[in-house]
Amino acid sequence: MSKRRPSIVGGAIRGAIAGAIGTWVMDQVTTGLYQAQSESDTQREEAARPNGQSSVANMLDRVEETTGLRLSGGARPTVEQLVHYGLGTVPGAIYGALRSRVPLLGAGRGVFYGLALFGANDEALNTELGFAGPYDAYPWSSHWRGLVGHAILGLTTDTTLDLLGG
């Protein structure tokens, strides 16, 4: 008896849940790595950030500039968290919908998926779009933290999908 593939919609829903859980686990790991890095690396990383802000905060600034809409000061931290989780949930939904349909997508138990997100988002798009500083402005510990964090994100997303029957 062969295992039945989940529906695309069911896979997407499970993937979104798995992506949110993966994002939370990644945050726990990367926060610990950030707190353990040297003070000089922290200072160099902070100096590299455009406008002294995270990439998500810079992204929201761009959305506000483009649309003319303004977030109230109290809503901003909540929206930043929603965007941050959306950056894990939306790709997680796509991964969940396609993992059983696209050969090799789930290779490495999701680690390759996580590393692809890291390369595309953290190392390329954020810099290209001006949400983060140039690659070489950051200390190696920043890149290492992102690499490890996204590998964990991918592994957790993939494992959670399995646990959810996807």
pLDDT confidence of residue 72: 85
The reported pTM is 0.90
pLDDT confidence of residue 146: 96
Q: What is the pLDDT of residues 51-70, one digit of tens each?
A: 999 999 999 999 999 999 99
Number of Cβ within 10 Å of residue 32's Cβ equals 11
**Segment 37-49 mean pLDDT:** 96
Q: What is the pLDDT of residues 60-114, one digit of tens each?
A: 999 999 999 998 878 999 999 999 999 999 999 999 999 999 988 898 999 999 9
Spatial separation of the C-alpha atoms in residues 3 and 29, rounded to whole Å? 34
**Residues in Cβ contact with 141 at an 8 Å cutoff, skipping those fewer than 6 apart:** 33, 37, 38, 41, 45
Spatial separation of the C-alpha atoms in residues 25 and 31, rounded to whole Å? 10
Sequence-ordered alpha helix ranges (H) in the chain: 8-36, 39-48, 55-67, 76-98, 111-117, 126-128, 140-163
Whether residue 1 is predicted with pLDDT greater than 60 in this model: the reply is: no
